[in-house]
Copies of this chain bind each other. A is one copy, B any other.
Amino acid sequence: MEYPKSQVCKSCDNCNEKSKAFSVLSEDELRILNKDRFEVVFEPGQMVMKQGAPATHFVSLTQGMAKLYLEGFDKKKIILEILKPWKLFGGPGIFTDMRYHYSVSTISESAACFIPVENVKQLIRSNPTFAETMIVHSSMNGSRNFERLLSLTQKQMPGRLADVLLYLSQDVHLSMRFNLSITRQEIGELSNMTKESATRILKDFENEGIIRIDGKEIEVLRIDTLREISIRG
């Protein structure tokens, strides 16, 4: 793995500005946070964080795109999130058993900044506002996981796929038309179905004029229909 100088952070300021979690910190506190930070560049498909490994660092994605996923049984995965820059992750294990509870691997060429957990914990202990920020952060993940649990367990495939398309369009790419950076396999892992089923239902949606597929590009044509399908289940 290379560490091209040009891509390594010159300073953490940029990162701190973009990650709203750090906006409540003073100059001095940022210094603590920045003390032992370091950045690593990843090629596509490389592992940033491994489920089960010791949880030593919080990580902030600074460039590229990655997937955060649970490793289940028989190598089956559930992708919980597509990560974009300035997303901070590390997981619940940092405050419990000091293990990572999910894996993260890159989708495109990426860079990530590693912050030792002890430095973050030190700030939590000294700055209650920052602690509250962490609680809010963790709570948002919590509610999001409840929604996912309901979507994945109670909806049929079209509803689950609609949820994933809405997620990709509205939360990840912020556009009705986007270049699909993930495979059918990964769409399946987002919606808990096989790649074959993902292919089939995507085609169904296309035939019904709900989306347009052109190579790697997907355009959402009728988002309301997608929302209906999502609600109907």
Residues of chain B contacted by A102 (CB below 8 angstroms): 146
Quick check: is A116 within 8 A (CB to CB) of the other chain? Answer: no
In contact, A143 and B72 (Cβ under 8 angstroms): no
| Size range of the chain A interface in the assembly | 35 or more
Check if A228 is an interface residue, CB within 8 A of chain B: no
Copies held by the complex: 2
9 contacts between A and B (CB under 8 A): A72-B150, A94-B139, A95-B136, A101-B146, A125-B129, A128-B128, A131-B131, A131-B135, A153-B192
A210 interfacial contact with B, CB 8 Å: no
Question: Quick one: closest B residue to A136, CB to CB?
Answer: B95
Chain B's nearest CB lies how many Å from the CB of A158? 13
Min CB–CB distance A118 → chain B (angstroms): 13
- A116-141 CB contact bits vs B (8 Å, 1 = yes)? 00000100111111011011101111
Residues on B with C-beta less than 8 A from A132 are: 95, 121, 124-125, 131
Task: Give CA–CA (A59, B146) in the complex, Å.
Answer: 20
> Which secondary structure dominates where chain A touches chain B?
helix
For A95, the chain B residues whose CB sits under 8 A away are 132, 135-136, 139
- In the docked arrangement, what's the CA distance between A233 and B75, Å? 12
Name the distance in Å between A78's Cβ and chain B's nearest Cβ.
6
| Residue from B78, B131, B139 in contact with A128 in the complex, judged by beta carbons closer than 8 Å | B131
Name which residue of chain B comes closest to A144, CB basis. B92
Within residues 66 to 121 of chain A, which ones have a CB less than 8 A from any CB in chain B? 70, 72-74, 76, 78, 91-97, 101-102, 121
A142 on interface, CB distance cutoff 8 Å: yes
* Residue-wise interface mask of A (148-174) relative to B, using a CB-CB cutoff of 8 A (1 in contact, 0 not): 111011110000000000000000000
